[in-house]
Chain A
Amino acid sequence: MSAAGPDLRSSPLEECHRELGGKMVDFAGWSMPVRYRSILEEHRAVRNAAGVFDISHMGQFFVSGEEAASWLNGLLTNDAEGLAPGEGQYTLLCNEQGGVIDDLILYRLGEEEFFMVVNAARTAEDFRWLDGRRSVEVMIEDRSDGMAGLAVQGRQAPEVYSRVTGGRTLPQRNHVEEVSIEGQGVLVCRTGYTGEDGFELFCPAEAGAHWFRAMIEGGATPCGLGARDTLRLEVCYPLNGADLSSRHTPLEAGLGFAVDLGGADFVGRAKLAKQKEEGVTRRLAAIRCVEPGPPVRSGCKVLDAAGREAGVLTSGTLSPSLKVGIGLAYLPVETAKSGTELQIEVRGRRIPAEVVKKPFYKRR
């Protein structure tokens, strides 16, 4: 039985969370720590130094074969074939309407070998979608159950890595390296979900606790999912299931940079190309409260200056760095312009807010 409930899945790092006094909650059917001591403290640790997160709940797929690159290109929005071995990219899996099934990072391990990290809530669905569209020359494996993952984020992440590995340097930004540390094989990716420098490390499940403790010893503060959410929202990284869904396209979400419409055909491309041509009618906007007030949260109504409903927050929080409420909402394009005055409704109160340019927070 896991700490947060009998039907939840336990992370391979569960014992670490218990040792550290993690407050366990249900996240996508997993028992995960929302915090250890304090979300605000953990958030600050990442912004000022380094924090380590358990990300073992995420999904890890391996794709291989002669046709792997072109097959992936037919299913993902970004240009997989353009990746050199060792390189990674942010990309999306869309349905035929151009709606988002999942957002993920794709890494090329070799000419014919790829590694994908997908969201915890979508692992099974993503695998079914991909496997159901497999061609004969391509193999896809879901190795999520046998793997653990952790993310070390913050400007001191390279130092932490160096201490833990006896002096190694990280791969360059968005790159992946298969590394052997103390005789153990791990995948190290220079990416993250916080807007800070950092890396994600994937290893066999049995080794997860060891690496997590090593990162803490190396100077990283243990951080939970609460801080992970405030950090990513401050830099306007979308959350699938909240800001991204099958009802919205990557273009509406402002993720056109990860959509290669000029290359190979992929599922959803026709709809996206048409939408690009005609222009989107709504956009995922960054909304910041203009004065301190109660935290704004997902589900809060967004009103225009005249008090008419313009949208609803898909994500919201009190920004620990900016000390005001911040959120994301799909708004009609005219309303989504930077500077538009809005109000966010919280328990009957209307908090003055405005659309701002993304991101809310710029890394120092």
Chain B
Amino acid sequence: MNIPEELRYTTDHEWLSRDGDIVTVGITDHAQSELSDIVFVELPGVGQAVGSGDNVAVVESVKAASDIYAPVGGVVVEINTEAESDPSIINSDPYGGGWIFKLRMEDESEIDDLLDADAYEGLIS
């Protein structure tokens, strides 16, 4: 199972990468593998303000719908419309082309509450 070292993770199987105060969020390789066959993704609106833990997006497979939560609070600045038109990219490239949304972080310290790669690996094994 692929768990990139440089990312942070949530207990709900989202990953987060950081560039200044902009964070990119997606779902992990473990999550896409469990879901399989992602056929639909519902993205938030650009400009939407979200709090840490808010239900921000939905990823759906043939069999199930999975809620995606904001790992940190902030304002949505970009959404992945490519994933919207071809949801299977979340399965094939969960950490790259399968990113879901980007936020401008409100409170940087919220990142400290997230899991590192080792902790996430411990969670899923």
Residues of A bordering B, CB below 8 Å:
23, 34-35, 37-40, 226, 230, 293-295, 317-318, 320, 347
Nearest residue in A to B38 (C-beta to C-beta)?
A40
A201 to B62, CA, bound (A): 28
Judge whether B65 is part of the interface by a CB distance below 8 angstroms.
yes
Contact in complex: A35, B36 (CB < 8 Å): yes
Contact in complex: B65, A226 (CB < 8 Å): no
A317 to B60, CA, bound (A): 11
Contact in complex: B39, A318 (CB < 8 Å): yes
**Residues 56-67 of chain B, each 1 if its beta carbon lies under 8 Å from chain A, else 0:** 001011110100
- Which B11-69 residues have a C-beta within 8 angstroms of A? 36-37, 39-40, 42, 58, 60-63, 65
The number of A-B residue pairs with CB atoms under 8 Å apart is 37
- Given A39-B37, A294-B58, A347-B58 in contact, is the A34-B42 Cβ separation under 8 Å? no
A291: min CB distance to chain B, Å: 12
A39 to B62, CA, bound (A): 8
Q: Which residues of A contact B60 (CB under 8 A)?
A: 294-295
Among B36, B40, B42, B65, contact of A38 (Cβ-Cβ < 8 Å):
B36
Q: Can you give 23 A-B contacts (C-beta < 8 A)? A: A23-B36, A34-B63, A35-B36, A35-B37, A37-B36, A38-B37, A39-B36, A39-B37, A39-B61, A39-B62, A39-B63, A40-B62, A226-B63, A230-B62, A293-B40, A294-B40, A294-B58, A294-B60, A294-B65, A295-B39, A295-B62, A318-B40, A320-B62
Q: Which residues of A contact B40 (CB under 8 A)?
A: 293-295, 318
A38 to B65, CA, bound (A): 16
Contact in complex: A294, B42 (CB < 8 Å): yes
A320 to B40, CA, bound (A): 12
Q: Which residues of B contact A294 (CB under 8 A)?
A: 40, 42, 58, 60, 65
A34 to B63, CA, bound (A): 9
Known pairs A40-B39, A294-B58, A295-B39 / 18 extra A-B pairs, C-beta < 8 Å: A35-B37, A37-B36, A39-B36, A39-B37, A39-B61, A39-B62, A39-B63, A40-B37, A226-B37, A226-B62, A226-B63, A230-B62, A294-B40, A295-B40, A295-B65, A317-B62, A318-B40, A320-B62
Nearest residue in B to A320 (C-beta to C-beta)?
B62
B82: min CB distance to chain A, Å: 15
Nearest residue in A to B41 (C-beta to C-beta)?
A294
Nearest residue in A to B36 (C-beta to C-beta)?
A38
Contact in complex: A318, B58 (CB < 8 Å): no
